Structure 1
Amino acid sequence: MMGNTYPSVVLERLLRGARLEILPTASVADQVYAHVEPGRTLTVTASPAKGLEATLALTEELAAYYHVVPHLAARMVERAALPDLVARLSAAGITEIFVPGGDAEPTEETFSSALDLLIELDAMGSPFSGVGITGYPESHPGIDDDVVVQSMWDKRRYATSVVSNMSFDDDLVGQWLERVRRRGVELPVWVGVPGPVDPAKLLRMASTIGVGDSMRFLRKQRGVFTRMVMPGFSTTRFAHRMAVLGTADRLGIAGLHLYTFNQIAQTEGWRRTQLSKVAELRDPAAGT
């Protein structure tokens, strides 16, 4: 049964608290400082081509001004280095992390999976108060659906939230959320959605990630470019649909996770425009 909260109220909450996912490139920090107000939440991806150091360095640089959530891709983290990594992040004031398995090939020195790393962090006393894990509203190109379902169930006890992989289908996200709740997973979910990014810029960004990363990106997201340019998809419409779903407290939508592809100005411009429109809907005099 739907709750009593109006969709416009939920939409305002989703927009104000939206998280921005950024890639650790040389120029992204300047873009963030120019367009994102202090205190917002940023998540920093981990790239096998750039190495985990790029993620950690950018996290430290931004941590004084923002709530930064580094991606600790398990197959990029060496077991022996984990205590020092945790100490380094803690010294920077980091309280939340996101733990995907990652695209790197595991070695004898690294963790083999996200669950593997999560168990070790738990054994260390759970040094971070927030731990995000991945959810897949759509099928993962390299993992069977039943494995994905079992993986979320296994990881849920070590996590505080789920971050869904990027999706373009709001109906599918709604169905997925219903299934997640029926399975007994009660963690709040950050719903992943591509920001209003120019597809040509997105393609150029893929080429800057690194040759190996670009190929992995294109294989995993081979429908991204087609679906972003097809008539019918709109970040705005998707956000409005999430606001309607968000009136149902049982679905546990924590907020929006915006995949910016480092198009910070465009993504933040869209978010602020939508907030202004919500304000006008709730108070028409605000637009005069």
Structure 2
Amino acid sequence: MLPTRLEIIPTDGIVAAVRAQVPAGATVTVTCLPHHGVERTMDTAQMLAGHGFNAVPHLAARSIESREQLASIVRACTTSGITEVFVIGGDKAQPAGPFASGESLMREIAELSANTLTMGVAGYPEGHPAISDNQLLESLQAKQELASHIVTQMCFSPAVIGDYMDTLRTEGVGLPVLAGVAGNVPRTKLLLLAAKIGVGSSLKFISGKGALSRSLLIGSRYQSGELIRALTSLPHPPAGVHLYTFNNLDSEPVAEVAG
């Protein structure tokens, strides 16, 4: 089993659910959705940290309203024992404040925290609907001096993830890669999510005729356990798995994290 961290959405009751089903000490990342805002992300992350989890708040550059707000977030991380954040650009059409990109936010965080906060960044094995592949690569090349690792968008093909990691190494990006894997969710929900974020090509993989493809779709639900096991067999496996749980904490990969 590759080292696995869990991603949750900061909805009502999720902290209690994590406490009930995930052991203290596990790494749990907390999304920052445009309609939720960074406050809900930070509140949830601080509560999880207070209960002994390695909480990692997502910080979306375009959702940060000011440098003063960012300074407050960094202080909250310090006082709560949070040592890592995950930095993304965010999906807002217009920035709420001075940070239009993940890189600009990372540089400010590094300064405000005196480089004490570890920062993860996003990677896109199948590209991004609104950003060219060259721009994505140049962004990672610029961020890697500040980042500790890359977390990929959810992907359903071990080969695609392996090729992506090979490409990064060829292009001089040496950061460890955590493979983004969707948790066990209903097939219809998975199809909608995949279409929205642009990972349709690897989603076709799980509709194929191979043994692995068949094992990923059982009945009406996608099963992630076999995909995770296939990742461990790659010539150069990822450094770990980032499990997109969609707050479904009753699944095989989560159970394995729970030990």
Q: 1:23 to 1:202 in 2, by over 3 A?
A: farther
The percentage of aligned residue pairs carrying the same residue is 34
Compare relative contact order (CA 8 Å, sep 6+) and give the higher one, 1 or 2: 1
Q: Higher Cα Rg: structure 1 or 2?
A: 1
User: Tell me, which stretches of 5 or more residues in structure 2 are unaligned?
Assistant: 217-223
- Alignment partner, residue 231 of structure 2: 242
Aligned match of 2:251 in 258, 263, 266? 266
Alpha-carbon distance change, 261 to 90 in structure 1, aligned in 2, over 3 angstroms: same
Q: Which deviations, in whole Å up to 9, do the C-alpha atoms of 1:43-98 show, x marking residues without a partner?
A: 00001101111101100111022001100111111223111110011111100000
Counterpart-to-counterpart distance in 1, 2:181 and 2:93: 27
Aligned-partner SS, 2:232? helix
> Is the contact made by 1:199 and 1:228 (CA closer than 8 Å) also made in structure 2?
no
Q: CA RMSD in A?
A: 2.7
Match of 1:146 in 2: 134
Partner of 2:239: helix, strand, or coil? Answer: strand
Deviation at 1:142, TM superposition (A): 1.1
Please give the secondary structure, in 1, of the residue aligned with 2:178: strand
Match of residue 85 from structure 2: 97
Q: Is the 8 A contact 1:35 1:268 kept in 2?
A: no
Higher helix share: 1
SS of 2:120's partner is strand
Partner of 1:186, secondary structure, is coil
In structure 1, the gaps of 5 or more residues are: 1-11, 207-213, 276-288
| Aligned match of 1:256 | 241
- Matched residues, number: 245
Report the CA distance shift for 1:126/1:230 in structure 2 as closer, same or farther (over 3 A).
farther
CA distance in 2: counterparts of 1:27 and 1:108, whole angstroms: 28
Shift of 1:38: 0.8
- In structure 2, relative to structure 1, the CA distance for the partners of 1:58 and 1:191 (3 Å cut) is same
- Deviations for 1:153-198, whole angstroms, at most 9, x for unmatched residues? 1111111111111111111111110011111111111110111222
Q: Name which of 159, 162, 169 aligns with 2:147.
A: 159
Specify which of 96, 102, 105 is matched with residue 117 of structure 1: 105
Structure-1 residue corresponding to 2:59: 72
Displacement of 1:126: 3.8
| Native 8 Å contact 1:45 1:55 kept in 2 | yes
